[in-house]
Each structure stands twice: as C-alpha cells, then as structure tokens.
Chain A
Amino acid sequence: MNDDEPAREICMETIDQVAVKREESEKDGTAPAIAVEDLHKSFGSQKVLNGISLAVKRGETLAVLGRSGTGKSVLLRLIIGLEKPDSGSVRIHGRDLAGLDLDQLGEIRMKMGFLFQHAALYDSLTVEQNVAFPLQHHKKEASKSEQSERVRQLLAEVGMAGHLEKMPSDLSGGMQKRVGLARALALDPDILLLDEPTAGLDPISAAEIDDLVLKLQAEHHMASIVVTHDLHSAKTIANRLALLNEGNVVIEGSFEELQRSDIAFVREFLGHSS
C-alpha cells in the first residue's frame, strides 16, 4: 500500500501538469478547436477507425474524404459524443469528452452545430419550430419575439425565409439541409460538423449549399469538419482535405498536395472522383 503512494503522487503531479498546460493553451488560443488523437472504434468485429488523429483550428475547414464505410460519419459522431471511442481521445477546445456526464457533454454540444446527412428535422414540427428548438431549450431568457426574430434571421441567412410554416415533409432534400443548417447555427456555435451536406442533391443545389457554407464560414469564423464524397465540394469549401482509408488518414493537406501525391490509393481516389 505504502509502496504505491510515491507513484500515485507522481501521477497526480503529471495530471496537474497536463491540466495546467491545457488551460494555458486554451487561454492563449493555441489549442485547436477540435483535436482527435489516436481514435479507435469498432462495431463488433468490424474495425471502423484505426488510430485516427486530426486537429482543426478556429476559422479552418477540414474536408474528410474517403470511400463509403471508411468511418467518416462515425468520426463526426465520435466528435460530438453520439458514439464513444474504444480508445483515443476527442478534445473540444482542449476539453476531453471522455468521462463527461450528459450535462457536461451538453455544455460542449451547445458550442457545436451538426448537420445530419438527411437533415434529421423533427417531422412533427414546422420549419420555424425546428429552428426554434435549440433556442427554446437554451435561450430561455430571450422573449418569444426575440426568439422568433432570431429564427427569421437564421432562415433568411440560409435562403428559407418564406417557408416558416411548412412541414419538413413539404420540403425538397436541399431545402431540408438548409433548414438543418439554420438549426445547427441557432446557438451561434464555434464548431460546425457537416455530414455529407451535398449528398443526393442535384449539381445546382449542391453548389448552392457549398456557397452557403462558404458564406457562413466567412461570417461566423467557425472550425468546421465536412464529411463528403464530393471532391468538387471539398475543394470549394475546405482549407485542408484528409483522405481516409481503412480507418486511418492516408494523406492530409491542400487539394494541390493531394494531387501531387504518389500514394496509389490517393491517385486512384482522385482519378475516379475527377
């Protein structure tokens, strides 16, 4: 029992040092908004993520590309805490998600916006009520008219101002994604996670969504991760691209750096995508 005490003291000192280091990096703004380290995730015997590490700073957009089933969407779900990793860590503004209870996780999620692949609008609520949902739960100090004003402003921002009373089932896929984006932005997040924002859309609607994301990025200066199959979209909206294969990052860099790569998988992926 006594033999363990010096070791425990050393461990406690180490923990304190790490905590101090993180607090300092958070204060001076050098901690990335999103930091993923050595993340592993399996479903049964299927290994989906195999030691992935990524970091995204505020104002930066990272596009995550890869074949279907390589764990791109799972990565986003791990970052927002909808799934738990088998090992590795996810840090949001330097704060590790592991071990947080639902309330603590909720505090972090309030700083994050998430656009689902199929928008995931609440089908029993109107467009207006969908966008108002986060405000009603987290901006209770705001009056009804203030909330309503904010909803109108958000919907105008995504080009859906005239569709307040419509139900989600009355909207096209592109319109649903716009409303989903407005809902994701409702709490003015500083992190935005987009899961296939242009999937299933015609080229014109996809380009409109890309323009919208670019505009929102410029206005809100968020850290964003965009999961997509659409290389053109990734090239348009992202500062950096990360290509995933077999649960890990094959290459990370600008589109030009990916083009210059000699890695066979990267060349094959870009060749089929172009």
Chain B
Amino acid sequence: MIDQKFSAVAGVDRPLPEPRASAVSPVASSVLGPINKFFEWFGDLGIFFWRVVRAAVTPPFEFRELFRQLDEIGSMSLPLVALAGAATGVVLSMEARYSLTRFGAKSLLPAAIVFSVLHETGPIITGLVVSGRVGAGIGAELASMKVTEQIDAVETCAVSPYRLLAAPRILACILVLPLLTLAADASGLLMGWVAQALVEPLSFHQFITAGFKGADFNDFLPPTFKTMVFGLIIGLIACFQGMRTQGGAAGVGRAATSSVVLSSLFVILADVVLVKLILIFFP
C-alpha cells in the first residue's frame, strides 16, 4: 500500500493513457506523419546534443580518445582535402582567367583566386570532403557498434557512450576543420598559381603579392573559423545517426548514407547563414 502510494507520488507508476481511436483521416495522417517525424528528428537531435555537451564539460575527460580521433579525422583527411583544394584551385584559375580576360580585368586574376579560395571554396570544399569521408566513417562505425550491442556494452560497464564515443569525435571534428581548411587554402592557392604560371610567366611572389593586396585578417580568419561550425554539424549528425540506428547491416548502411547526405546538406545550409553573418559582422 505504502509502496503503491510512493510510486504514484514519485510519478513512477503512472499508468499510460489508453490509446484513443484516431480522429485523423488516413490522408491527413499520411501528410502529418512525415511532418511529425521531421520535428521528432530535430527534437531527438537537440536532446542528443545536450547530453553530449553535458558529457563533454564534466569530468572524467576522454583525452586519449580525443587524440585518437584528431589523428583519425585530421591527419587521415589531410591528403584528400589537399587534393580537393588543389583541384579547385586549378579549376578556379582556368575559369577566372577566361572570364576576367573577356571583361578586360586580367590584372585582377591573382586577387580573384585568393579571395575566392580564402572566402568560400577552401572552407566549403573542406566541409564537404570531410562530411563525405568522416561523416560516413563515424556513422558506419557507431552504427556497427550499435547493432552489435557494443554501445550497450559500454553503458553496462557504467561508461557514458556520449562521453566516450560522441564527445571526442564531435570535438575532434570542430578542432580539425579549420586546420584542414588551411591545407585546402594553401594547396588551392599553390595550384592556382601553377595553372597561371603554365599559361603566362608569373612568379609565386608576384602572384601572392598581387593576390593579397588589399586583403586583411577579416578576409581570412572568419571564413576559416566558420568551419568549426561545419565540424560541429558533421560530428553531431554522424554520431547521432550512428548511435540511433536499428536493424543489422541494412541499418549500418542507412546510417552511413544518411550521415553523409544530412551533414553535407546542413553544411551547405549553414554556409548560407554564416556567409551572411560574416558580411554583417566583418564587413
């Protein structure tokens, strides 16, 4: 008797409401269903983010796992990011040369390449390449751990999976994205100059001097550091999709795919907002 009262007061034993007959027509429910799922996904993501933040700011800290992830996400992504940055630099150089020559502004070519690479192509290419490589990797790894009950095993060992698995990966993504952006910027500028120099003699010194003439830190720092937001998006979505997956090998595949698709999409959407904010706060 006492136990029953205690449970009722504590809200433990509260009976579930009886399921009601649906008052919504099948057509309306087919429309409302996806909308509900959409908002449910954001709600779950918000709860997941809060748990990760709480785990990340309270001890014990998983430094060893963080360093492992910095290596895995950072140094392993470096060649791919540098290659993508280099290819973008070459394409940008060829396209800009063609356009600017047509409009009689060929002298602006180094500045056009430098500004394009630093402001936009370097950061966004880094974000997209990392969301492809790292998003898929984290999503598949955590999903595989989830379906084989390894994440449950972490929990039964009284270790928080948010602290051990999610927080170091997300933090590593946030920290390495600006560094990888520097690599993409450097290789993009270098190959942009090479593409120019192959058409018309131009020293690297001349290219850089002309390119950075009139540029200041506001052209370099805000676009580079905005990639920390890309890192947060990539790490958060990949960990979330991986740790909530269900259903064997198919679930692992779905988690990897959705991690890449959603993180790429949200990186692009975030870029729109961030570019506007940078233009407002760093004119």
Do chains A and B stick together as partners? yes
- Asked if A133 meets B16 with Cβ closer than 8 Å, knowing A82-B152, A89-B7, A120-B148, the reply is no
Is the pair B149, A120 in contact by a Cβ cutoff of 8 Å? yes
Chain A facing B: main interface SS = mixed
Q: Which residues of chain A are near B150, meaning CB under 8 Å?
A: 120-123
- Asked if A110 meets B158 with Cβ closer than 8 Å, knowing A18-B2, A87-B16, A120-B148, the reply is yes
Convert A80-120 into 0s and 1s, putting 1 for each residue whose CB lies closer than 8 angstroms to a CB of B: 11100011110000001011001001110110101011101
B157 within 8 A of A: yes
How distant is the Cα of A117 from the Cα of B148 in the complex, in angstroms? 10
Instruction: Select from chain B the residue with minimum beta-carbon distance to A80.
Output: B156
Task: Report the minimal beta-carbon distance from A48 to chain B, rounded to whole angstroms.
Answer: 14
Q: Which residues of chain A are near B156, meaning CB under 8 Å?
A: 80, 82, 109, 112, 114
How distant is the Cα of A114 from the Cα of B158 in the complex, in angstroms? 11
Task: Report the minimal beta-carbon distance from B156 to chain A, rounded to whole angstroms.
Answer: 4
How distant is the Cα of A138 from the Cα of B60 in the complex, in angstroms? 10
Q: Which residues of chain B are near A133, meaning CB under 8 Å?
A: 157, 159
- Asked if A99 meets B2 with Cβ closer than 8 Å, knowing A110-B158, A137-B158, the reply is no
Q: Which residues of chain B are near A106, meaning CB under 8 Å?
A: 158-160
Is the pair B5, A88 in contact by a Cβ cutoff of 8 Å? no
Contact of B152 among A11, A116, A134 (CB under 8 A): A116
Is the pair B148, A87 in contact by a Cβ cutoff of 8 Å? no
The size of the chain B interface, using a CB distance under 8 A, is: 30
> Which residues from 1 to 53 on chain B have a C-beta closer than 8 Å to any C-beta of chain A?
2-3, 5-7, 9-16, 19, 51
Convert A238-252 into 0s and 1s, putting 1 for each residue whose CB lies closer than 8 angstroms to a CB of B: 000000000000000
Contact of A15 among B10, B145, B155, B157 (CB under 8 A): B10
- Asked if A86 meets B152 with Cβ closer than 8 Å, knowing A102-B160, A137-B157, A137-B158, the reply is no
A259 within 8 A of B: no
Is the pair A14, B157 in contact by a Cβ cutoff of 8 Å? no
Is the pair A109, B158 in contact by a Cβ cutoff of 8 Å? yes
How distant is the Cα of A96 from the Cα of B2 in the complex, in angstroms? 15
> Which residues from 92 to 146 on chain B have a C-beta closer than 8 Å to any C-beta of chain A?
145
Is the pair A109, B157 in contact by a Cβ cutoff of 8 Å? yes
Instruction: Select from chain B the residue with minimum beta-carbon distance to A77.
Output: B152
A67 within 8 A of B: no
Is the pair B2, A122 in contact by a Cβ cutoff of 8 Å? no
Task: Report the minimal beta-carbon distance from A183 to chain B, rounded to whole angstroms.
Answer: 7
In the complex, which of the residues A87, A107, A137 has the most CB atoms of chain B within 10 Å of its own CB atom? A137
Residues of B within 8 A of A (CB): 2-3, 5-7, 9-16, 19, 51, 60, 145, 148-150, 152-160, 162
